[in-house]
Structure 1
Amino acid sequence: MSHLTVVICVDHAFVSGGQSKVAIESAVGLKAAGARVIFFSACGPVDERLAAAGVEVVCLGQHDILGNPSRLAAARQGVWNQPAAAALAKTLDELSYDQTIIHVHGWAKALSPAIAKPIQAAGLPAVYTMHEYFLNCPNGGFYNFQKGAVCPLQPMSLACWTTNCDSRNYPFKLWRNARQFVAGHVAHLAETFSDIILLSDLQQKVLATCLPEGAAIHRVTNPVEAEPLGRKPDPAAGDFLFVGRLSAEKGAFLFAEAAKRAGVTPVFVGDGPVAGELRARFPHARLLGWKSPAQARDAMRAARALVFPSLWYETFGLTALEAKAMGAPAIVADGCAAREAVEDGVTGLWFKSGDVDSLASAIRELNNDAVIADMSRKAYDAYWAAPASLERHVRETLAVYEQALTRGAEG
């Protein structure tokens, strides 16, 4: 697409999680495909890959909400980040609007709902990738952290207001609801987007009654960083491995207990708020700490199987797809989006979400060398038959932009 300009908006200009990781890789890929890319973010440091690729960066050097030393300033910024809105307005004002797209990957950790106003004023096609559920749910996950279970309540209903579902405390939940009210009724954030990108079938189901009317809905595959190393030479070697944030909702305790019952040693790559408790409660577990993405992929390549025991919906399950690319079968909770990366009984196993005995049973099944060898081969072959490459991600993203621009021109 010649003369295309893309303004990518996301909270962090560095890899703080899957959301910013995809935004950065997408920016680099779109630039390589010939687009002018402007990367707009609140918080640094700036990932060196952006400048190396020739991506223009506007980074405001702000704190994110959790990193702000002033709780009052953080609360105010989270609801309405006026400096970010002003800076985005200035960035957009300086552009030639022909063939320009705004693509928001995240706003809830720093940019705030305020970015809706300059986007609306520009009148440009605006795309939103649903990396989480903050567009609809105050805590971003349709999940009750206090109960440790998926939340069935209608967002912003009276029951939602009176339920303490937050991972911290009830006052923080009320602040989140207030922000959601501002996003919906002051910023009109959801209606700002002409196009919404979803990442999984599960998301489409969860959001069936929540998506803004009139927005075009698309599916774009997140890019997976992986090399075709060939089938694993010794698939029965290695451990049962967890990769990701060590938190209760990610199922860290569930995996540790299931591994104990199955008689295997659980291995964890990652860090997070429950690391200390996990170590204390399960001294047999091996906690390897945080690793770089390349080191995490090496760990998956060496693992017998990945375990993805997440208790909440998730949006995509990138780790399960990365493991598949490495030839590591995955055991995934059947209530989360990662199940879509696994053909049950062929390239891995599903277990009943939240059920420790079901997970322990799946671990025992994959402790069979013949079973794991067969699944490893099939997982590797299935992934590389249609890899989730950056090139594929860029191709699918450009198709969304083309449709949005065409509709905008017709409108």
Structure 2
Amino acid sequence: MFDQFQLSEEHEEIRSAVRDVVEAKIAPFAAEVDAEARFPTEARDALLATDFFAPHVPEAYGGAGADALATAIIIEEVARGCTSSSLIPAVNKLGGLPVQLGGDEEIKQKYLTQLAQGHGFSYGLSEREAGSDTASMRTRAVRDGDDWILNGVKTWITNAGESDFYTVLAVTDPDGKRGNNISAFVVEKGDEGFTFGEKERKLGIKGSPTRELFFDNVRLPGDRIIGSEGQGLKIALRTLDHTRVTIAAQAVGIAQGALDYAIGYIKERKQFGKRIADFQGIQFMVADMGTKLEAARQLTYVAAAKSEREDADLGFFGAAAKAFASDAAMEITTDAVQLLGGAGYVQDHPVERMMRDAKITQIYEGTNQVQRLVMGRKLLG
């Protein structure tokens, strides 16, 4: 009866394989990627070469067919070494999953196949005045014969400019019922009238470009719509139920990396003639960090299993995992900086970067305040 709490041998093998790739080809560039605010091309190439670029894509479309738990483990392990790099598989799932969940076979064959081959996929939902209130978006798509004409702006788009494809949500019936008047489309990087804003200057995840998307009379063929007209927001929110698990996994990975580094440091650093790891107060801090981390990991893995099964209570568990794990990551990385003292505050050590990176996990894919609204509504029915 206890086997349900033990990862399969296959999952453990995946973790080991990803960790080897991260330690050899991703983590060594993490500080440089952060300092130069450049896209981690080394990570992209390494992930693509090992089927970790978009592992969730089904085998039918040329992907690895990794289940939700395996995908979470991959993102966790990459984040342990470099948060910016972990956004490559995470955002590819976020951008591509609407096609997988809501698209017809033709659009799946066209875009999921290319995603598996290395063409990145981003997600265009948020706008300046429509962040948490997504139904208030102003981007519009108007029919023109069999085509659609897209106009508007999307904001806070992760890996914008690097990805080749973008799932974009737009109002297609301005007079329709709120929430049921939005459709989803695939926009290609080379579409005429589609351009990018300047890169945002951010606190963390500096290696992952965040930019606005501008649509100026972008003509989209009719077969670019994902699912039925008016079903876009439902597809988008269903996607988030699944992908919030990946943000929880990312947070767990960041926290693990910070805890690992802090433990290594306090075992070496000496004060008053002994290792600071031997002081009881330090041990209490580490114990609390480890407890929060393992609680976050277990909740994340349960949520991932529910994502794979598409359980009815996934909405609650996805939100709970994302909120709990990201709060834990913020606390753990802050304590890691504290354990290193002054050394933790300088860029010679990675914990200050991890603390900066952890903050965004409390914000994107729905702030943790929104997650608590989701959880409360699920519990109250």
* Shared fold per TM-score greater than 0.5: no
Structure with greater contact order relative to length (CA < 8 Å, sep ≥ 6): 2
Instruction: Please report the TM-score for the alignment, with normalisation by the length of structure 2.
Output: 0.25
